[in-house]
Amino acid sequence: MEANLQDLARIRAFVQVFDAGGFSSAARLHGRSKALLSKYVTDLEDYLGVRLMNRTTRKLSLTEAGEAYYREASSLLQQLDDLDATITDQTAEPRGMLRVSAPRNFGESTLAPAIFEYLKKYPKVTLDLRLEDRYVDLVDEGIDVALRISTLADSSLIARKIADMHVVVGASPELIKTIGAPQHPDDLRHLPCIIDVNLQGQSNWRFIENDKTISVPVNGPLRVNSPLAARKAAAMGLGFVVLPSYLADPLVASGELVPVLPGFLPTGQTLQAVYPHRRHLAGKVRALIDHLVDWFAVHPIN
């Protein structure tokens, strides 16, 4: 039997009937007649020469051959559906609801213009932008894509690099004049530090020495879950702070923050677009990621 559309219809009917738990349920769910679905499954069994389903008035189950065939058939149909969706997304304008998660301060200060430009470019997309400084479970909370400043830790997710990032360690000029500037990361063990609990590692700050990562435990007068509050505390002389460059650079430029230990700062941290592991990436998500890559190539994160 050469593969044709009717063959695919028979295979699809078989998968639909089992997924729905019966012929009547599948007929209601997919808008087909029960008789047609029954004919398709029977024709498929006749062609294969084996019974795929055990049918009773109360229960439908798969035979051993049916279980093996179902696994391969459902996988094949999913691949075909994904292929169709990919081609459709490539030719259709992005549309529909797009749920995006990002850190609050980064979203407000740096991401918002890029996101809003995307909306102007694709007016048929409706955006649900959630800015919050907490770990968001993309699958449980129905998020299409999250923007994260980190390395990818969850193997069930896929990440694409959007832009390079870097961090700044610094303190106010007054504090440095009073207690001095650290010459080595270990010096921070004995100096007041402001701990942003959103920071990866929290009170264990990471540095690079001789191409190796070193971790320095720090303490100080303040633990806070806001990088803006941590920045303000540092500017007021309460301690040294680790900040992403987009928050630190304005204060460095104004002289309110003095950077220290530039030769020990880690590199390789990036802004990433993270999304659940799926064969097919929705066109609206793909368009957003491509847009952000292009945007930050022109508007680099300092």
Mean model confidence pLDDT for the chain? 87
Whether this prediction's pTM lies above 0.75 is answered by no
Question: How many residues in total does the chain contain?
Answer: 302
Nearest CA among 15, 42, 39, 41 for reference residue 29: 15
Give 269's pLDDT tier (boundaries 50, 70, 90): confident
Q: What is the DSSP string of the chain?
A: ----HHHHHHHHHHHHHHHHTSHHHHHHHHT--HHHHHHHHHHHHHHHTS--EEE-SS-EEE-HHHHHHHHHHHHHHHHHHHHHHHHHHHHS---EEEEEEE-HHHIIIIIHHHHHHHHHH-TTEEEEEEE-SS---TTTTT-SEEEEEE----TTEEEEEEEE--EEEEE-HHHHHHH---SSGGGGGGSEEEEETTSTTTTEEEEEETTEEEEEE-EEEEEES-HHHHHHHHHTTS-BEEEEHHHHHHHHHHTS-EEE-GGG-----EEEEEEE--SS--HHHHHHHHHHHHHHHHS---
User: Looking at the predicted structure, is the pLDDT value of residue 152 above 60?
Assistant: no
> What pLDDT does residue 76 have?
86
Lowest mean pLDDT among 71-85, 106-120, 195-209, 247-261: 71-85
Give 63's pLDDT tier (boundaries 50, 70, 90): very high
As a whole number of Å, the end-to-end CA separation of the chain is 62
Whether 51 contacts 45, CB under 8 Å: yes
Question: What residue ranges define each of the domains in the chain, with the CATH number in brackets?
Answer: 1-88 (1.10.10.10), 96-163+269-298 (3.40.190.10), 167-259 (3.40.190.10)
> What pLDDT does residue 88 have?
64
Question: How far is CA 48 from its chain centroid?
Answer: 43
Instruction: Decide which of 162 and 158 is more confident.
Output: 162
Q: Which of 48-62, 73-87, 172-186 has the highest mean pLDDT?
A: 172-186
Instruction: Decide which of 90 and 214 is more confident.
Output: 214
Give 148's pLDDT tier (boundaries 50, 70, 90): confident
User: Looking at the predicted structure, is the pLDDT value of residue 170 above 90?
Assistant: yes
User: Looking at the predicted structure, is the pLDDT value of residue 57 above 70?
Assistant: no
Instruction: Decide which of 209 and 199 is more confident.
Output: 209
> What pLDDT does residue 278 have?
58
> What pLDDT does residue 155 have?
57
> What pLDDT does residue 1 have?
42
User: Looking at the predicted structure, is the pLDDT value of residue 277 above 80?
Assistant: no
